[in-house]
Amino acid sequence: MSERVCTACGGSGLTEHELHTIDLDENGHQNPVTHRWTGACSGCAGAGKIHIHE
Ligand SMILES: [Zn+2]
């Protein structure tokens, strides 16, 4: 078993996440809302590297 730097986050363990939702305002109009945050990489679970099973 060996380790490789996670290519999804470049080894930092953090990536930008983006989520699009549709919110309704008080008049019932739909407003697209984009949520962005920096969080644990989904490729390596925040470890920054991945284990390769060989
Ligand atoms: Zn990663």
Are 44 and 10 within 8 A, CB to CB? no
Q: Which residues of the chain fall short of a pLDDT of 70?
A: none
**Ligand 1 centre distance from Cα of residue 9 (Å):** 4
CB within 8 Å of 34: residues ≥ 6 apart: 18, 19, 20
| Dist. CA 8 → ligand 1 center (Å) | 5
pLDDT of residue 53: 84
CB within 8 A of 12, min separation 6: which ones?
41, 48
- How far, in Å, from the CA of 47 to the mean position of ligand 1? 7
Centre of ligand 1 from the C-alpha of residue 23, in Å = 30
pLDDT at residue 1, rounded to an integer: 76
Distance 50 CA to ligand 1 centre (A): 8
Of 5, 2, 1, which is closest to residue 49 (Cα–Cα)?
5
